[in-house]
Amino acid sequence: MADQFIEVDKLRDTLRESLGKDDKRQEDISRPDVLTRIESVIQTIVISVSEGEAPVLRVMNRSSWDNVRFHESVGLVQKTDVPVRTLRCDCPSSATRFALTLKLLSVIYKLVQSDSYATKRDIYYNDPQLFGSQTTLDSILDDISCMLKVPRRSLHVFATSKGFISGDLCYLEEDGTKVDCNSSSTAVPVSSNVNGIRNIVSAAKFILIVEKDATFQRLLDDAFCTRLSPCIIITGKGVPDVNSRLMVRKLWDTLHIPVFALVDADPYGIEIMCIYKYGSRSLAFEAHSLTVPSVLWLGLLPSDIQRYRVPEETLIPFSQADESKINSLRTRDYISCQPAWEREIEAMQRLKQKAEIQSLASIAPHFLTRVYLPNKLRYGGWI
């Protein structure tokens, strides 16, 4: 089995040779700087009130594709001339959002000033009736991060992680707790403070991002990390949370080893892979901290459906939502710049069928872990 990683090792060497100056993390902002930026916002409001004007807050529009551009070595980044939304305290449609933004700015200021931390859920459950929903709080927090041009980790507000990680990896949490991910049958929750992780130790040959928790659990059950040791597997359990994305980026920055993605052969699986690789519209202002443009598509490729003769009865016809999503994907610059990806997406759209990773089990119960993935890694079956 000594030759099972020859192609992976060649890829690793190529990736390390191509590391450039654009491959960098967004710098943390100092506590005094964060406080100064918040004070500047409040000062503007106070001046407006003193002059008898209704105060306003200006936040970036983070929901439009028109406000981001594609940078090949970074991913989706925010344009410099992004139009802003105005939150007015005297306008019924925005007064509530205005007040909640000020409330959250106050909470953040106290946290940064006292050098203490809170989770988003902590803040929400301190006054659930005020915010109405966790989603509202999350959105306002991202607006504030974008408005202040401060990465969210510098606001001293953490998110509870939903992702899991396993494999050849040990590290220390910021509080000194040692975390060992080397169990063959269980996984470790992704840290809620990825930025505080230090002393990362790993001999892993590659990192495998797994789209779905069910597939991740299957890899654990089949002792995948032992069979293809040394490696690291991680899942964000569907659309990844920020901590899962931060963790993949942290491992890439530290280890500089190949990062592969294992997703369903459907439009939504491809989009999830693209979030890890190139980022998202809503968090484009933090692209340098969250994206890993070197991510490669290992499977399930649409061409694999015919190559491995996946039984017809396990394939799923396209829905209208699938058709809409794939049309959207094909218009994006980060797809059109990758001919191999574009061909796979065209093939999927032509067939108007999709396949889940679990469909490989219809070929043989352990086909995914004992045939499909080992062969892909041995023979360089990624794009």
Output DSSP code: residue 355.
Answer: B
Buried b (16+ CB within 10 A) or exposed e, 283-300: bbbbbbbbbbbbbbbbbb
How far from 214 is each of 98, 235, 239, CA to CA, in Å?
41, 10, 14
Catalytic residue list contains 125: yes
**250 contacts: CB under 8 Å, gap ≥ 6:** 194, 195, 197, 200
CB 281 within 8 A of CB 64: yes
End-to-end CA distance of the chain: 23
How far from 270 is each of 49, 78, 296, 332, CA to CA, in Å?
49, 22, 11, 12
CA distance 247 to 166: 12
- In 3D space, the residue among 97, 190, 75 whose CA is nearest the CA of residue 142 turns out to be 97
- List the structure tokens of 4: 């099972």
- In 3D space, the residue among 115, 86, 81, 116 whose CA is nearest the CA of residue 101 turns out to be 86
- List the structure tokens of 100: 């909640």
For the chain, the 3-state helix, strand and coil shares in percent, each to the nearest 5, are 50, 15, 35
- List the structure tokens of 143: 């607006």
How far from 174 is each of 10, 192, 198, CA to CA, in Å?
34, 11, 7
Placement of tokens 């969210």 in the chain: 152
- Point out the catalytic residue in the list 117, 125, 334, 379: 125
| Residues taking part in catalysis | 125
